[in-house]
Structures are given as structure tokens and as C-alpha cells.
Amino acid sequence: MTAQETKLLNAFETTLTGTIGASDLTFTVNSVTDGASNTLTAPCYLILNPDSATNREVVQVTSINTGTKTLTLDNINKRYLTGSAATSGLSHASGSVVRMSPVQQHIEDINDRVDTIINEAGTAVNTSLFLDEDDMSSNSATKGVTQQSVKAYVDTQLTAEDLDISADSGSNIAIDLDSEVLDLEGGTGIDTTTGTNKVTFAIDSTVATLSGSQALTNKTIDVDSNTVSNIEVDNLKSGVLDTDLSSTAGTDTTIPSAKAVKTYVDAQTTAQDLDITDGSTTSAVDLDSQTMTIEGTSNEVSVGLSGQTFTIGLPSSITVNVTGNVTGNVSGSSGSTTGNAATATALETARNIGGVSFDGTGNIDLPGVNSAGNQNTSGTAADLSATLDETKGGTGLTSYAAGDILYASASNTLAKLAKGSATNVLTMNSGATAPEWSASGAGGVALQVVYQQAATTITSSDTAVDITTLDITITPASTSSAIMVGIGSCPIQVPDRDDNNYWGLRIDRAIGGASASTIYTNSQLGRATTNTPTDFRDGQGFSFIDKPNTTSECVYEFIFICDGGGSSEAVGIGKGFICTSYGIEYSSATEV
């Protein structure tokens, strides 16, 4: 057996479920677990017919399908292993015993591994795994080393080693690790202290720290390259802060306080006003208490203010009496302009009349009106003297009766079909060339209609919610009747449940007071999204035709349903509106 770990079960035994030929590499067994429910795992060694001196065979299984209980050997070399009754030609019948011998297999694995480390006598290690080199010249990452080689190599390296040191100034030095001691000394303001396997460097009491409370003497702080924070009024030298500007000399030797500035400015502003005049009348605006207003005149002058800018101009419509000459264009739909234009020989922009350009400088000729030719018109004449045929957009017909239907009887030819009777339906004739009326097919007759309406408000986190206000109760007149039940209107707020669930409706039916059972389900009327908690979907149009085959009372229930995944978000049904449902009984018919 090769030096590899094998999977062992101490008491595994089973039987074959089929025969094994002399060259087969797969076989099936009755079980792949032992009595303690441990599952057989590849690779492992098994013995086929272990109690037969002439047919015993040792094999190595390389893969196991626990579902089909199929054991596989990856090649023929995994058969007829040491311990087999023969080296080839063995076959095994269905029902033959299959057993594992774990103790023998485990000992063989151990021996294989020990043999790779030490010789059989136990007096020397395998030189292919361990090296005896005092200088470690092989530098192998895959070999072991002897104790003597480790000691010799370490002693040699320590004796020859020193510690090279450099500093900010001075020459480099070397400390012989075998014979010298490195001295670490502090400079100005720095102390050194030895501890357990460490040296601590610390500043002494002559050095100011960020967290300390030392007083600086004869020091200069460059404010341009440093930040001085938390300066308060009581930090200023006496006489630096000026609290009364009214008596201060005009110099730059003090700093005013905010209150002093406000008091001084308020006093100056209160005394100021703005003088204004229109050329004949003069007035003044007190800047501290008054507001100057610039007003326009309706339909004459407009005034607008945006930010600090006044805009004064003319409005879009002006009402004003003008005496004298007006330069420019006068337009509008109201008012009047009286007088004669100095020059009016042509229209500024020519216009087309009947396809002919007219600019006002002379008369024009219109083809088909006052000259030969055809006049093209885009409007509709008030009356026509002749029937307009189909190719000109007409019908070619001169009269119609109530209920007539127009249809094309041939290319570019229209015909009319008179109305049929009340029960007729429109069909095609036998040649499929024209429509005709025919008697309608058989159909059911409505025997009774049950209608339900009620204000509904239901909130529930269940995935199936009975809308009890819409229950329909109807008693069929015949066992052959068909019952159509459905929802007329019912707003439904669909829950998202953080899972984009599908939602739908279900109809349950109870006959004669018995328990209700489901007769119809549509579970995917829609799908919730993250927007639907504020949106209501309508259940209208949800209907089903039932044939209950009974004349006992039938109660139909409408159930809201949705997927159960995600959160427990609630559904909202009805929203307080009037919800409706119906039930219609039809007599026996081939179609309803």
C-alpha cells in the first residue's frame, strides 16, 4: 500500500447488489454507512468475499456516490492488491460480503510513513529528509536538519555578527554582539530609562508639551505661520478694546467692540435721509424709518424690482391718447387708429389666395374663378349639385335608411346593408365576399342577479385575507345552472414585504352550510414593488363561471392572497370606499 492516508470505519460491512466481473471498476452495495451511521469515505480499502480463501480480493476505492451507493476504482491497478487470493481473474456474485479491516489498514499506513523517516533498525534518519551540514550550504526549504548542525551554525553566526548603527550626525559605529554593549544616551531635554527588554525615551521638565501647563518666557510666536485660538476679551491688554467710538481719536491703536460699532452706526444712520424731487416738488425719505416707493401707471408705465435693480418700461398693452406722429408699428385687436397713412401701396407680407400670391399692388386672376383653369380648394362646399363618388372621398350613394351599414362591395365601390332584426348577428356570406345578418347561436338566459356593496376597510399582515363584505349568497334554480361571480370594484393596497411578492385573488365556495373550498385561484394578478405601499390596485374584473351542480344555497367568498416571503407588511383593502361584488345565475347553455 502506498504512503497515503486512508479513510477508516472500524465496523463497516455490507453486500454487493450486483455481480463484479474480472475487469469491472464500479460496483454497487446495499449500504455505504456503518451501524453508527458513519458514511464510508474515499479513498479506502475494502475486502470482497473476505472469508473465502480462493475468491478473496482486496481493492482500493477512489470515489463514492452515496446517493446511488456506487463505489468506483479509477484504474485496474486498484484491484487485486496484496492480500487477494489471486492477481487477476476474480469475479464476485451479487450478495457477496464487502468488509473493511481498519486495524490492519491503519498499521500499514503508519509503517509506510515511518519508513520514509527512519531506517528499519531505527538507528539512522532518512538522509533524503534530513541533512547534516554545519554551514547549511544547501539552504533547502524541504529538508530537516540535525541538532548538531543547528548548534554549530548558530554559534558561528553569532561570533561573526555585529550591529551597525548610524545617527543624524557623527560617524557610523559597529557593536560586536558577542562582546560589546550599546549605550543609548539622551541629549538636551531627553532622558533614557531601561526596563524589562526595553529602553524608554522621554522629554524632561525643561521641555514644554501640548498637554502641560508651562509658562513661556522670552518667546516669539509668528502668527503668519501659526494659529492662535480661543482668544477672549479678558485676554486683551487693558486699553486695546475700545467700547465708545464717539470719543475715540482717528488712530489705529485700538480695536472697537461689536456693541460700540453698532451703537455708533445706528446713531449715524438715524440722522440720515434721502432728498428726492420730480423737478417741481421736493421731498425727503428717512433712511432709518421710511421706504421710498416708485410706482407706475396702469396701461401706461410699468415698474419692476429684482434684487437692488428697478426696471421702468412700457407694458405690453398701452392705453393712451397720442397727438402727433407715431413712428413704428401699431397693432392690437381693440381701440382704433384714425387717419391716413402717408404711404400704403403694398402689403408688407404678400398672402396667397386660391394658390395665387396677392400683395395689394394690383388685381389677381384665380383659375376656375375669373380665368380658365381648375381651382384647388381645401375646404368643404356648403352643398354639392351631384353625388360625390368613392374615388373623390364620397360614397357614391344618394340615400340611407336608419341602421344601414356601409361596406366595400368591390374595389373603389361602396354598398349598404340594411339593418337586421334584434337577435341577429353580423356574419360573412358563404363566399366570404360580403357581410350578412344571421340568427344568433344558442345562449344562456339570466335567471337571477345578486349584488353586494359595502364600505370596506381591512388591514392585515396575513398572506390570505377574506374580504367578508363582498360575500355573495345565491341559491341556484337548477342543477344545470351556471353561476358567474366576480368583483365589481375593490381597491387593494398591495404589501411589498421587502421581497417584491406576487399577489392575486381566490374564490372559495360553501354549499348548504358546509365548509368552503377553493374553486378558482389567480395568484399572479400583479407583483408588488417598493412603490406599492402607497398605491392601491383595483380588483375589478376578477370573475369566474362556476357550475355547482346543486340547488342548495351557495356562498362565494373572495380571498386576497400574496407570497409569504420578506417582512410582515400589512395589506390594505377597501380604503373606506364602497366595494362591490355580484353573482349571476344563467340557465343551461352551451356558452355563457
239: region left, alpha or beta (phi > 0 left; psi from -120 to 50 alpha): left
Overall number of domains in the chain: 4
Q: What single string gives the DSSP state of each residue in 295-318?
A: --BTTTBEEEEETTEEEEE--SS-
Q: What is the pLDDT of residue 449?
A: 92
Sign of CA dihedral 206, 209, 214, 220: positive
Boundary (domain end) residue, out of 60, 92, 115 = 115
Condensed to tens digits (0 to 9), the pLDDT of residues 407-430 reads 777 877 878 888 877 656 677 887
pLDDT computed for residue 566 by the predictor: 65
- Residue 469 in contact with residue 488, Cβ under 8 Å? no
Residue 235 lies in a domain: no
Categorize the per-residue pLDDT at 326 as very low, low, confident or very high, splitting at 50, 70 and 90. low
Shared domain for 570 and 477, answered yes or no, is yes
**Residue 73 and residue 135 in one domain:** no
Q: Residue holding cell 383659375?
A: 367
Is 259 part of any domain?
Answer: no
Q: 579 with 451, same domain?
A: yes
Q: What range defines the domain where residue 418 resides?
A: 405-439
Question: Is residue 494 located within the same domain as residue 573?
Answer: yes
- Tell me the whole-structure pTM to 2 decimals: 0.30
Higher pLDDT, 174 or 115: 174
Domain finish residue from 439, 464, 493 = 439
Buried-state track 55-78, b at ≥16 Cβ within 10 A, e below 16: bbbbbbbeebeeeebebebeeeeb
Residues 425, 545 within the same domain? no
- Note whether residue 358 is domain-resident: no
Using CA atoms, how far apart are residues 13 and 435, in angstroms rounded to an integer? 86
Say which range, 295-309, 465-479, 491-505, has the weakest mean pLDDT. Answer: 491-505
The stretch 254-268 carries a mean pLDDT of 75
Do 297 and 313 touch, CB atoms closer than 8 A? no
Q: Given this model, what pLDDT does residue 538 score?
A: 61
Q: Same domain for 100 and 149?
A: no
Poorest-confidence range of 241-250, 256-265, 289-298, 366-375? Answer: 241-250
Per-residue DSSP letters for 562-573?
A: E---S--PPEEE
Domain assignment present for residue 293? The answer is: no
β pairing state of 241-242 and 255-256: parallel
Cα–Cα dist 340/333, whole Å: 19
Are residues 556 and 491 part of one domain? yes
CA distances to 142, 234, 352 from 244, in Å:
91, 17, 84
**Separation between Cα atoms, residue 490 and residue 507, nearest integer Å:** 15
User: What pairing do the DSSP bridges indicate for beta strands 97-99 and 44-48?
Assistant: antiparallel
CA of 470: how far to CAs of 492, 573, 587, in Å? 13, 11, 24
Query: Does residue 409 share a domain with residue 468?
Result: no
Q: Which helix (H) or strand (E) holds 42?
A: none
90 lies in a domain? yes
Question: How does the average pLDDT of the chain come out, rounded?
Answer: 79
563 shares its domain with 536: yes
Q: Averaged over 47-52, what is the pLDDT?
A: 93
Top pLDDT among 337 and 145 is at 145
**Residue 113 has what DSSP assignment?**
H
511 near 554, Cβ under 8 Å? yes
Q: Kindly state whether residues 45 and 130 are assigned to the same domain.
A: no
In a domain, 544, yes or no: yes
454 and 418 assigned to the same domain? no
Domain boundary pick from 102, 133, 153: 153
CATH code of the domain containing 504: 2.60.120
Residues 44 and 145 in one domain: no
Assess if residue 342 is contained within a domain.
no
In a domain, 387, yes or no: no
Report DSSP state, residue 457. Answer: -
For 274-288, what is each residue's pLDDT tens digit? 788 878 898 887 777
